[in-house]
Structure 1
């Protein structure tokens, strides 16, 4: 069996003291996640993060930094994910925009509100990324050498 990591991106968007999350149905239960998804062919990591955020939330964002790069093996299926988490600023919300079919809706939560719902997190990476963001972890976007 050939092993490979799945490359994913996630975006932390803070606006007026609240963080943007998506509600999605996974494994028969409603879970919370940052806007996130898989890298597609012929796109950069930054393009993927902006696209996934728009598709899942209807929010246009501008990436400002890399929060962290994480390697995570999901206990539910044994799949390994390489997650690149970005920090972004909200540019505009398009509430009329249709969201990805697996997204139930979006939520803006404070950190404390998220902690109350921590059993609903899609994975431990959701809180890990947010904790790193809150600790001030910010790396320049130039850290990533995108294809030319």
Structure 2
């Protein structure tokens, strides 16, 4: 299913859903961040996805990271909560979601970067390599906050 990101766009369609979602900021021993290139829009992003019924949000983070990247992680904290009402995601099936994403910090446990149906590429990316990638501004904010190691989570 295709998706279109609308960010601060007054012409964006009105949202018709809010879904609890998670993104995961995890680094390797060289302080590189784990990123995927999404198959639905081609943008680079942190791994993540929607919470399923019966899951704790930390379980969602572990499952989505494993599914999208082949990497096993353990959740250790919260980077931030991202709820900008001016960021909506339009899907080809007619759903238009208002952003609601909890970005969790995790520790690498095991595994090698492996592509999936949702990721056409999976890479450990150094901070200085981020500017060469096509990353949505909302996702870049989460990544930058992850690298900052703020003492308190971002709420916005």
> Which TM bucket (shorter chain)?
0.7 to 0.9
Structure with the largest fraction of helix? 1
Deviation at 1:7, TM superposition (A): 1.1
Question: Which consecutive residues of structure 1, in runs of 5 or more, have no partner in the other structure?
Answer: 141-148
Q: Between Structure 1 and Structure 2, how many residues are aligned?
A: 133
Residues 68, 137 of structure 1: 8 Å contact kept: no
d(CA) in 2 for partners of 1:2, 1:76: 8
Question: Which consecutive residues of structure 2, in runs of 5 or more, have no partner in the other structure?
Answer: 1-13, 91-95
Q: Residues 2, 68 of structure 1: CA spacing in aligned structure 2 closer, same or farther, 3 A cutoff?
A: closer
In the alignment, structure 1 residue 21 sits paired with structure 2 residue 18:
no
Aligned to 1:146: none
d(CA) in 2 for partners of 1:139, 1:56: 28
For residues 1-148 of structure 1, the aligned pairs below 5 Å read: 3-15=16-28, 16-27=30-41, 30-72=42-84, 73-75=86-88, 77=90, 79-94=97-112, 99-117=115-133, 120-121=134-135, 123-137=136-150
RMSD: 2.4
Deviation at 1:34, TM superposition (A): 0.3
Deviation at 1:3, TM superposition (A): 4.3
Moved over 6 A (4+): none
Normalized against structure 2, the TM-score is what? 0.75
Deviation at 1:62, TM superposition (A): 0.8
Deviation at 1:100, TM superposition (A): 3.4
